[in-house]
């Protein structure tokens, strides 16, 4: 990967030079130039350039000459794996893990739901509708008859 400056797009503002932590960018004739020997390809200058004049270019892989040497590669031998031991996990350890999971994941959510529900109930108005009792003589007579009927059904006789 190589960083390259498009000289036509470069305005020579120097923001890339200030952003470079290594100091690999210099202004030459009011244009940015990157010293490839110092550049670490951190791309801080790419982000800092307001004109988008600095871009990254992927280099093609360089071909290396193949040296004709005889290499001996050791072949790994297969060693048998030790026999798997039976699991010693009992029901108690599994239940403990399940309870730990519930305590860690489920309990805080449950508490949050309960607190929210309680807050909503406390915010509701608690007014009750009060209906005035009828005070006419006829209404009182009806109420008295009702009490007499109740008393008769209970087996008591009242006046």
CATH number at residue 20: 3.30.70.20
Range of the domain at 22: 2-57
Domain count, the chain: 1
Q: Is residue 109 part of a domain?
A: no
Q: What's the pLDDT at 123? A: 84
Q: Is residue 8 part of a domain?
A: yes
Query: What's this model's pTM, rounded to 2 decimal places?
Result: 0.37
Distance CA 15, CA 5 (A): 13
Q: What's the pLDDT at 3? A: 83
Q: Is residue 23 part of a domain?
A: yes
Q: Is residue 143 part of a domain?
A: no
- Taking 80 as the threshold, does the pLDDT of residue 17 lie above it? yes
Q: Is residue 100 part of a domain?
A: no
Q: Per-residue pLDDT averaged across 145-150, rounded? A: 57
- Taking 70 as the threshold, does the pLDDT of residue 134 lie above it? no
Buried/exposed 4-38: b ≥16 CB within 10 Å, e otherwise: ebeeeebeebebbbebbeeebbeeeeebbebeeee
């Amino acid at each position: 990967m190589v960083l390259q400056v498009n000289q036509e797009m470069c305005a020579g503002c120097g923001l890339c030079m200030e952003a470079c932590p290594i100091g690999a960018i210099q202004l030459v004739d009011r244009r940015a130039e990157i010293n490839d020997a110092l550049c670490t390809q951190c791309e801080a200058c790419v982000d800092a350039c307001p004109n988008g004049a600095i871009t990254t270019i992927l280099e093609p892989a360089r071909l290396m000459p193949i040296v004709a040497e005889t290499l001996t590669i050791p072949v790994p031998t297969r060693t048998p794996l030790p026999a798997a031991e039976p699991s010693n996990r009992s029901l108690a350890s599994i239940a403990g893990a399940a309870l730990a999971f519930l305590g860690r994941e489920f309990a805080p959510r449950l508490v949050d739901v309960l607190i929210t529900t309680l807050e909503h109930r406390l915010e509701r108005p608690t007014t009750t509708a009060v209906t005035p009792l009828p005070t006419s003589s006829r209404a009182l007579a009806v109420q008295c008859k009702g009490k007499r009927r109740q008393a008769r059904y209970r087996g008591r006789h009242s006046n």
